[in-house]
Amino acid sequence: MSPLLWSVAAVALGLLLLFMMNGGRRSRHTRHVVLEEVKRRLRGGSIEHLPARGPRARGRLGELEVTVDLHHEPGRRNESPMWRVMAVGPVRVDEPMEARVADWGGWIDPWMQMEKVLSVPGGSGPAFTIHARQSLTLDHPVIVALRRQGPGLVAGCLHVQHDFMRAEIHYDPRPEDNRGLFAFLDAMSEISAHGSSRHMEAGRIHRLHVGRETG
In the 3-class helix/strand/coil scheme, how is 27-96 assigned residue by residue?
HHHHHHHHHHHHHHHCEEEEEEEECCCEEEEEEEECCEEEEEEEECCCCCCCCCCEEEEEEECCCCCCCC
| pLDDT confidence of residue 179 | 95
Tell me the angle at which helices 3-41 and 179-193 cross, rounded to the nearest 10 degrees: 30
Tens place of pLDDT per residue across the chain (215 aa): 565 555 544 444 443 333 334 445 678 999 999 999 999 999 999 999 988 779 999 999 999 999 999 999 878 887 889 999 999 999 999 999 999 999 899 999 999 999 999 999 987 999 999 999 999 999 999 999 999 999 999 999 999 999 999 999 999 999 999 999 999 999 999 999 998 754 344 444 444 444 444 44
What is the value of pTM for the model shown?
0.81
| pLDDT confidence of residue 6 | 52
| pLDDT confidence of residue 14 | 40
Question: From CA 17, how far away is CA 204, in angstroms rounded?
Answer: 42
CA distances from 168 to 44, 106, 173 (A): 23, 9, 16
Q: Is 172 left (phi over 0), alpha (psi -120 to 50) or beta?
A: beta
